[in-house]
Amino acid sequence: MSYGTIHVEQRGRVTIVTIDRQPQRNALDKQAQDELQHAFDAFAADEEQWVAILTGAGDIFSAGHDLRTPAPEGPEGLPRNGFGGITARFDLDKPVIAAVNGPAVGGGFEMVLACDIVIAAERASFALPEVKVGLTALAGGILRLPRLIGQQRALGMMLTGRRVSAAEGHALGFVTEVAPDGAALETALRWADELLAAAPLAVRATKRVALDYATAPLSDAMNPQWDLPQVRRAQTSHDAIEGPRAFVERRAPEWTGH
């Protein structure tokens, strides 16, 4: 598919999705929403692609919804998998890294919160300012942020629309690593290399267990986790044989994803 608002690049087993509507501060209109949905659909379906990175062109990650276009009045106004084709993509077991090169605001921040690892440049900042324009952050931000940083600190951000820096985001716990300005993508690629050094099916099983049982009591999760299809597939895979064998033979494993 030919895209007009995003760029998609494959580097080995890594898919890099870049939002590029710089005159609009990388805010998303319907075309951008549809293109991001398509790009993440393609990544999810491609067995040869194991890690995705989401970033923005220029000096901003994304200003969220393009306020020059009508705000969605319900989930039917968004792509099938939520804002940017990612905020409600609950069946994606492959890891997604956010390379936040600048401000991530509103829906832009909600896309970041939907990613598994967040790399933020020093100049990056984060906010859910919807309340300041009479709207509500209903693409997962209100639900995800309290789970990541606690109810009181999250409400302090969400009820005021307060913007926080990359350093504060790291201190609060929703930023994985702060990178020098201009190095967010480079740092995200380093993290992607670390992910690719691990068995892909084991990585996906780990993500699925972590997400499915995030709020469950340990007593309710310890045994059922073994029955997840992703866990059973990983535990009985060729890679589950290759990993211990490579360790004993003192060599790097050759993962196949099977």
Note if 130 is an active site residue.
Answer: yes
CB atoms within 10 A of CB 86: 27
Active-site position among 122, 130, 186, 194: 130
**Is the distance from CB of 62 to CB of 104 less than 8 angstroms?**
yes
> Of 49, 88, 91, nearest to 192 (Cα)?
49
Note if 110 is an active site residue.
Answer: yes
Q: Distance between CA 175 and CA 117 in Å, rounded? A: 8
CB atoms within 10 A of CB 244: 10
Find all residues with CB under 8 Å of 241, minimum gap 6, and list them.
Answer: none
Q: Which amino acid is at 178?
A: V
> Of 182, 37, 189, nearest to 98 (Cα)?
189
Active-site position among 110, 168, 186, 254: 110
Q: Distance between CA 132 and CA 161 in Å, rounded? A: 7
DSSP secondary structure letter of residue 136: -
Helices (H), 46-165: 107-113, 141-149, 151-158
CB atoms within 10 A of CB 237: 20
Q: Distance between CA 84 and CA 39 in Å, rounded? A: 10
| Active-site residue list | 110, 130
